[in-house]
């Protein structure tokens, strides 16, 4: 659309966005604004967020394995393993494919917010007018 406004949608671990693509996305985790050096961004119609800041705000622990470039996220009994630049993820003992692989941006691991949040038992809501994402 003209002037940077567009409509994007995804039905698998995605978030629908309507509005000015140039405005920042603000993420709120359990009512508190997510603070991180890396900003949330839309990639292939999905909101990507910095993993460590987001997982920590959700109460999870994060472990980096530099040998195989994987990240393990643990919350209570739930364990998620993601690999940089690989669409395959492991949740518990099950394997899934993400639409877009986690990636590194300025030394931050960026992951799809909806996938991470839902895999850890949280709900995600998108406010397209204000470009807010609420994780509850």
Residue 15 binned pLDDT confidence (cut-offs 50, 70, 90): very low
pTM over 0.75: yes
Q: Residues 62, 96, 27, CA angle at the centre, nearest 5°?
A: 50
pLDDT of 69-116, one tens digit each?
Answer: 999 999 999 999 999 999 999 999 999 999 999 999 999 999 999 999
User: Which residues contact residue 126 at a Cβ distance below 8 angstroms, ignoring those fewer than 6 apart?
Assistant: 15, 16, 17, 47, 132, 133, 134
Residue 22 binned pLDDT confidence (cut-offs 50, 70, 90): confident
């Amino acid at each position: 659309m003209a002037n940077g406004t567009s409509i994007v949608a995804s039905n698998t671990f995605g978030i629908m966005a309507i509005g000015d693509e140039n405005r920042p996305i603000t993420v709120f985790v359990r009512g508190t604004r997510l603070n991180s050096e890396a900003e949330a961004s839309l990639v292939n119609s999905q909101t990507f967020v910095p993993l460590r800041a987001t997982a920590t705000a959700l109460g999870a622990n994060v472990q980096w394995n530099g040998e195989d470039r994987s990240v393990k996220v643990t919350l209570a009994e739930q364990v998620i393993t993601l690999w940089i630049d690989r669409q395959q993820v492991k949740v518990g003992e099950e394997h899934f494919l993400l639409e877009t692989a986690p990636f590194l941006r300025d030394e931050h691991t960026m992951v799809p917010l909806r996938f991470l949040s839902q895999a850890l038992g949280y709900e995600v809501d998108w406010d397209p007018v204000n470009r807010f994402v609420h994780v509850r």
